[in-house]
C-alpha cells in the first residue's frame, strides 16, 4: 500500500536529479504529469528529445510505442514507462506478420509507417513519419515512386488528398480519433458559430471536411496560439487542452464531444493508464523498463533516423 503522505511532485523532482533522469511527456498525458515533465511534446518532439538527451534515464510518459522509439534511438540508455500496459489501438491494428505479408505482396513499393507502430513494423519500413512531418516526408519521394502508407487509414487518406498521391493504405485506425461523430460536431458548431473547429488528421474524413484547421497535436496547439479566434472546438484527445489553456489562458477550448455521451472516449484510455504515482514508482524502482532485441533495435532505428534527418528541426 502506497504511503498517502508521499509528496509525489517533490519526490519525482529529487529522484530525477539524483538519477540524472529526464521526463518526457506527450500532450495526451494528464495535466499533473505534463506539469512535472522536463519536456512536453508531440510524437516527433519526443523522438527528437530522446535522440539527443544526455540523461542516463529517459522516463517516457506516453504509450508503449513512444517508449520503444526512445529506446531504439538511445539503446544505451535506460528507458522507463510508468505503465507498460499503455498500448495503442492504432499500433495494435497493424500486426507485424500481417504487415510483412502486405509489404511482400507489393515489392515495388516503398514503405512509409506512422510512428504509432511496434518496433517490428518499423523494421519492415523504409521511413517512419509522424503527423507533424508526414506531408513533408511523403513529398520527399518523387511522384512516380509507389508508396505504402500504414497503419492509419485516415491520416493516409488525408495525405493522399492534399498531395494528390495514391498511396496504398493499411486499414488501421485509432479508436479515440475515429469515435467523433459528425452529427454531434454539427450540433456543436451551431451552438458556437464563432468557434473554429480544429482536428487531428487521425479523425475520419467527414470530420476533417468540417474542420477549419487540420494538424498534428503540436500544430493544433500552435494554431490556437496564433489564430485570431478565441473559441476552439478541439477534435482530438482532450489532454492537449491542458497545454492550450496554459499557452492561451484567455481563450476558450471546447472538447469535441464523444460519440457516446456516457463515456470519456475523447480520452485515450491507454495514455491515461500513466499516473503521477506510477511515474514516481517507476523513477524510484527504475522499472518497468523497455527492452528490445538489439538486432530488431538496429533494423527499426534506420527508418526512424531517416525521418529525423528529413524533418524540420524541433517543433
Ligand atoms: P501526434 O503526437 O503526432 O500528434 O500523434 C497523436 C497521437 O495519436 C499520439 O498517439
Ligand atoms: Fe494510440 Fe489513439 Fe491513444 Fe494515440 S490516442 S496512443 S493513436 S490509441
Query: Which option is the CATH number for 180-255: 3.30.30.10, 3.40.50.10800, 3.40.50.80, 3.40.50.300?
Result: 3.40.50.10800
CATH class of 90-174+301-311: alpha beta
Nearest atom, ligand 2, residue 91 CA: 1
Low-confidence ranges of the chain (pLDDT < 50): 314-315
Q: Enter the C-alpha cell of residue 215.
A: 494538424
Ligand 2 and 270: CB distance under 6 A: yes
Phi, psi of 72 (to 5 degrees): -60, -40
Q: Where in the chain is the domain with CATH 3.40.50.10800?
A: 8-86+271-292, 90-174+301-311, 180-255
Question: Which residue has its alpha carbon closest to ligand 2 atom 4?
Answer: 88
CA of 269 to the centre of ligand 2 (A): 9
Residue pLDDT, tens place only, 265-282: 789 999 999 999 999 999
Question: Which residue has its alpha carbon closest to ligand 2 atom 5?
Answer: 268
Three-point CA angle 232, 234, 239, nearest 5° = 125
User: What is the C-alpha radius of gyration for the chain, rounded to an integer number of angstroms?
Assistant: 19
State the ligand closest to the CA atom of 27. 1
Residue pLDDT, tens place only, 101-140: 999 999 999 999 999 999 999 999 999 999 999 999 999 9
Beta bridge partners of 267: none
pLDDT of 312 reads 65
Question: Which residue has its alpha carbon closest to ligand 2 atom 1?
Answer: 88
CATH number of 8-86+271-292: 3.40.50.10800
Substitution candidate for ligand 1 out of 70, 115, 131 with most atoms within 8 A of CB: 131
Amino acid at each position: 500500500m502506497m504511503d498517502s503522505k508521499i509528496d509525489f511532485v517533490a519526490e519525482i523532482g529529487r529522484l530525477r536529479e539524483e538519477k540524472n533522469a529526464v521526463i518526457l511527456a506527450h500532450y495526451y498525458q494528464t495535466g499533473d504529469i505534463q506539469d512535472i515533465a522536463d519536456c512536453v511534446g508531440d510524437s516527433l518532439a519526443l523522438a527528437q528529445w530522446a535522440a539527443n538527451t544526455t540523461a542516463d534515464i529517459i522516463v517516457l510518459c506516453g504509450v508503449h510505442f513512444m517508449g520503444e522509439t526512445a529506446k531504439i534511438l538511445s539503446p544505451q540508455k535506460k528507458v522507463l514507462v510508468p505503465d507498460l500496459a499503455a498500448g495503442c489501438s492504432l499500433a495494435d491494428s497493424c500486426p507485424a506478420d500481417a504487415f510483412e505479408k502486405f509489404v511482400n505482396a507489393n515489392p515495388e513499393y516503398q514503405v512509409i509507417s506512422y510512428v504509432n507502430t511496434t518496433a517490428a513494423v518499423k523494421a519492415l519500413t523504409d521511413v517512419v513519419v509522424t503527423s507533424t512531418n508526414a506531408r513533408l516526408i511523403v513529398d520527399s519521394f518523387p511522384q512516380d515512386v509507389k508508396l505504402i502508407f500504414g497503419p492509419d487509414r485516415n491520416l493516409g487518406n488525408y495525405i493522399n488528398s492534399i498531395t494528390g498521391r495514391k498511396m496504398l493504405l493499411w486499414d488501421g485506425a485509432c479508436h479515440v480519433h475515429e469515435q467523433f461523430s459528425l452529427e454531434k460536431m454539427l450540433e456543436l458548431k451551431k451552438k458556437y458559430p464563432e468557434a473554429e473547429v480544429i482536428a487531428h488528421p487521425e479523425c475520419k474524413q467527414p470530420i476533417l471536411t468540417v474542420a477549419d484547421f487540420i494538424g498534428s497535436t503540436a500544430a493544433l496547439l500552435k494554431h490556437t496560439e496564433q489564430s485570431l479566434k478565441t473559441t476552439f472546438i478541439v477534435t482530438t484527445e482532450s489532454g492537449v487542452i491542458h497545454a492550450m489553456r496554459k499557452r492561451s489562458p484567455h481563450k476558450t477550448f471546447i472538447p469535441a464531444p464523444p460519440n457516446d455521451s456516457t463515456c470519456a472516449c475523447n480520452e485515450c484510455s491507454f495514455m491515461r493508464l500513466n499516473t503521477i504515482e506510477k511515474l514516481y514508482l517507476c523513477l524510484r524502482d527504475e522499472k518497468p523498463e523497455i527492452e528490445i532485441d538489439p538486432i530488431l533495435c538496429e533494423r527499426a532505428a534506420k527508418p526512424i533516423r531517416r525521418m529525423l534527418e528529413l524533418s524540420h528541426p524541433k517543433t
